[in-house]
């Protein structure tokens, strides 16, 4: 497993330096929809990660955001890659983005690497071995109430069209938490829960490449991951709640409250 981790770290660092190079040289932006961007940097970083890992492990499978599923052969190993999580931030020069590389073995996430090149933050985890930031062990926070918690969330790119756009949950948590942030990088949000920088994170309609690496970071740092009903997180599901464990029940309660009725009085 440590050989797999070394290769994933090399790939993450290489792709991270490609992203930084693009911030200096400039990049082309295309639109997947009016607010969903993709840049040359996303494509180049993804090619870099896949090529690097494929050279070392030619039989392994890949699921990557821009290229989709690449089947080399029926292998129990599946690398799940977001080459640039936080593309909108990247495109605006806001330094909150990362390379996210997770590894599933027989359908279970066993390894995660998230590299933030702007801060040189390298988050790593191997199943059963704990979570680390730049080689130092990290743990979730001790916050035990929403009143004392800094939460984070995000919004999917169909926010304008879909009624399931998370604004209802955001409004409810805004009145219960100490504070809420929206960083624009789900993989970093998960790593920040793992590092105790955030106490809880929820979002709807994330993709496996947003969650794979960060989810094992949270688990290995002592946190809890479920859907909104409290069932174990599925990387292929629609809902994610990640927390330090202590506030998990309180978060689920808020997520399952019936929507606040609009009052006719001012």
Q: Is 9 helix (H, G, I), strand (E, B) or coil?
A: helix
* Rounded distance between C-alpha atoms, residue 32 and residue 99, angstroms: 20
Which of 210, 220, 227, 239 binds Ca ion (CB under 5 A)? It is 210
**Which residue number, 32 or 108, has a Cβ lying nearer to Ca ion?**
32
Nearest CB to Ca ion, comparing residues 190 and 254: 190
CA distance 92 to 98: 14
Residue 48: φ, ψ to 5°? -60, -50
Q: Does 65 bind Ca ion (CB under 5 A)?
A: yes
Residues counted in the chain? 266
The residue whose Cβ lies closest to Ca ion is: 85
Minimum separation from the CB atom of position 76 to ligand IPD (A): 26
Question: Would the CA dihedral through 243, 115, 47, 43 be positive or negative?
Answer: positive
Residues forming contacts to ligand IPD in the complex (CB under 6 A) are 82, 85-87, 154-156, 184-186, 203, 206, 210
Number of residues interacting with Ca ion: please give it, by CB under 5 A: 5
Answer yes or no whether residue 116 interacts with Ca ion by CB under 5 A. no
CA gap 184, 199 in Å, rounded: 17
For residues 61 and 75, is the Cβ–Cβ distance under 8 A?
Answer: yes
Give whichever of 205 and 248 is closer to Ca ion, judged by the CB atom: 205
- State in angstroms the smallest separation of the CB of 186 from ligand IPD: 3
86 binds, among Ca ion, ligand IPD, none (CB under 5 to 8 A by kind): ligand IPD
């Amino acid at each position: 497993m440590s050989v797999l981790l070394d290769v994933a770290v090399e790939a993450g660092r290489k792709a991270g330096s490609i992203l930084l190079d693009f911030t200096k040289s400039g990049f082309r932006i295309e639109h997947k929809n009016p607010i969903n961007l993709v840049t040359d940097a996303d494509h180049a970083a993804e090619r870099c990660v896949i090529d690097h890992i494929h050279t070392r492990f030619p039989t392994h499978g890949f699921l990557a955001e821009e290229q989709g599923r690449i089947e080399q052969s029926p292998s129990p190993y599946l690398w799940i890659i977001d080459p640039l999580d936080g593309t909108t931030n990247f495109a605006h020069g806001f330094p909150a983005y990362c390379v996210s590389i997770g590894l599933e073995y027989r359908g279970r996430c066993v390894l995660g690497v998230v590299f933030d090149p702007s801060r040189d933050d390298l988050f790593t985890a191997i199943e059963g071995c704990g979570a680390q930031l730049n080689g130092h062990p990290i743990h979730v926070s001790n916050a035990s109430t929403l009143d004392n918690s800094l939460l984070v969330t995000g919004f999917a790119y169909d926010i304008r069209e879909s009624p399931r756009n998370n604004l209802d949950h955001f409004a409810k948590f805004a009145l219960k938490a100490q504070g809420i942030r929206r960083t624009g990088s789900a993989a970093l949000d998960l790593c920040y829960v793992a590092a105790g920088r955030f106490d809880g994170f929820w979002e709807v309609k994330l993709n496996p490449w947003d969650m794979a690496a960060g989810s094992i970071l949270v688990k290995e740092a002592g946190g809890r991951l479920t859907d909104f009903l409290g069932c174990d997180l599925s990387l292929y599901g629609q809902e994610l709640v990640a927390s330090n464990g202590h506030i998990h029940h309180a978060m689920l309660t808020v997520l399952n409250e019936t929507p606040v009725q609009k009052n006719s009085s001012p």
